[in-house]
Amino acid sequence: MGIIHVSELVKDFRRPKRIKGALGGLRTLVTRESVIKRAVDGIDFTVDEGEFLGYLGPNGAGKSTTIKMMTGILQPTSGKIEVAGIVPWRERQRNALNIGVVFGQKSQLWWDLPLRESLQIIGKLYAIDPARHRANVDWFVELLDLDPFFDTPVRQLSLGQRVRGDLAAAMLPEPRILFLDEPTIGLDVVAKERIRGFLSALNREAGTTVVLTTHDLDDVERLCRRIILIDGGKVTYDGDVESLKSRFVQQRRLVVKLAAGVEWRGVGIPGVAESIGDEAVELAFDPAEIQVSELITAVLADHQLTDVAIVEPELENVVHRIYASAGMA
């Protein structure tokens, strides 16, 4: 059942028309002429409860604007949004009780207080039962490894530590939905892995619906079962990662390693591109035309192998190719 419904969503931003020439800056300030920029242009989608959705697009595509409308920060120009049965911008306080939000470069923690005290204050603000508060904090301390800096003032935390603290703060009231806008931007590999593990456990064990916007496609491939691609404020793809790869990538690769002393004799199948390296042979093929089993059988017929692997295309390469073909890169 859908927990988020977005229908014909439009968001326009109006700004004064920039006037060039002498005293252009001053004339721009006083002009009544304006320019309308459409950031979101008729978007439709539904998110089911418990989904982990990747919401992707190039800079300026409308991702953050959509998130801000779903969280109630912005009011749509037209169209409809319902989040857990609530119109976010009309009932911001009720909506806030159902959602958690983490923006990668902004914090909801108290700058001069230790992380422990920030979480205590949030518990009071949301009137969380003390026993439940302790249980949640203990769980987050374990999953996010907060203990080494739990009593450190937020201003002294590294970016990765602060983001982990923000995730704990966002989930402390047990919201049904978590919105994440670039949560791993600027983080090192260790911090990213810790956050990915937390989000996966949260979605799996607590059933939290997660909507993630990010440029780190490793996050998407590791976490998201469904992705929506947008450009120019419009949805260009809505489906799973594997279907996206199948739709936009026409080739797969089979990598084989020959046994010692074995020479490569080729496979003799039209449409297979062979690339012979020092340690392995790479075979590129169109899976719509050639079956993997057929190709492996042909290789084994004339060669003794020590290893064979099918290399799937990486999501990052697929998305970059889509952006480039559409002039988005």
- The CATH architecture one would assign to domain 2-7+44-245 is 3-Layer(aba) Sandwich (3.40)
Q: How far apart are CA 49 and CA 72, in angstroms?
A: 19
Q: What tokens does 318 get?
A: 């697929």
Q: Which residues contact 75 (CB under 8 A, 6 or more apart)?
A: 69, 89
Which regions of the chain does DSSP assign to beta strands (E)?
2-16, 34-48, 52-56, 78-83, 99-103, 177-181, 209-213, 226-231, 234-239, 252-258, 273-276, 281-285, 305-311
What distance in Å separates the CA atoms of residue 302 and residue 290, rounded to the nearest whole number?
18
Angle at 39 between CA 33 and CA 40, to 5 degrees: 130
Q: How many whole angstroms separate alpha carbon 166 and alpha carbon 184?
A: 12
CA 87, CA 111: separation in Å to the nearest integer?
A: 32
Kindly report, residue by residue over 171-190, the tens digit of the pLDDT: 999 999 999 988 887 788 88
* Whole-number pLDDT of residue 329: 44
Nearest to 218 by CA among 183, 248, 252: 183
Distance CA 10, CA 320 (A): 26
- Classify the C-alpha dihedral 222-227-233-236 as positive or negative: positive
**Cross-strand bridge partners of residue 82:** 5
Q: What is the pTM of this model?
A: 0.76
Domain residue limits, the chain: 2-7+44-245, 250-312
In CATH, the architecture of 250-312 is 2-Layer Sandwich (3.30)
Per-position pLDDT tens, the chain of length 329: 689 999 999 999 987 666 676 666 666 666 667 788 899 999 999 999 999 999 988 878 888 899 999 999 999 999 999 999 999 999 999 999 999 999 867 788 999 999 999 999 999 999 999 999 999 999 999 989 999 999 999 999 988 899 899 999 999 999 999 999 888 877 888 888 888 999 999 999 999 999 998 877 788 888 998 999 888 899 988 998 877 777 666 677 888 898 888 888 888 888 888 888 877 888 888 777 888 888 888 888 888 888 888 776 666 666 666 666 555 44
Residue 68: which residues within 8 A CB-CB, separation 6 or more? 74
Pairing of strands 99-103, 252-258: unpaired
How many C-beta neighbours within 10 Å does residue 267 have?
A: 23
The pLDDT of residue 40 is 93
Contact 175, 100 (CB under 8 A): yes
**DSSP code string of 158-211:** -HHHHHHHHHHHHHTT--SEEEEESTTTT--HHHHHHHHHHHHHHHHHS--EEE
- Calpha distance 147→164 (Å, rounded): 11
- Reported as a single tens digit per residue, the pLDDT across 210-249 is 999 887 778 888 899 899 988 889 998 899 887 777 766 6
Q: Which helix (H) or strand (E) holds 297?
A: helix 292-302
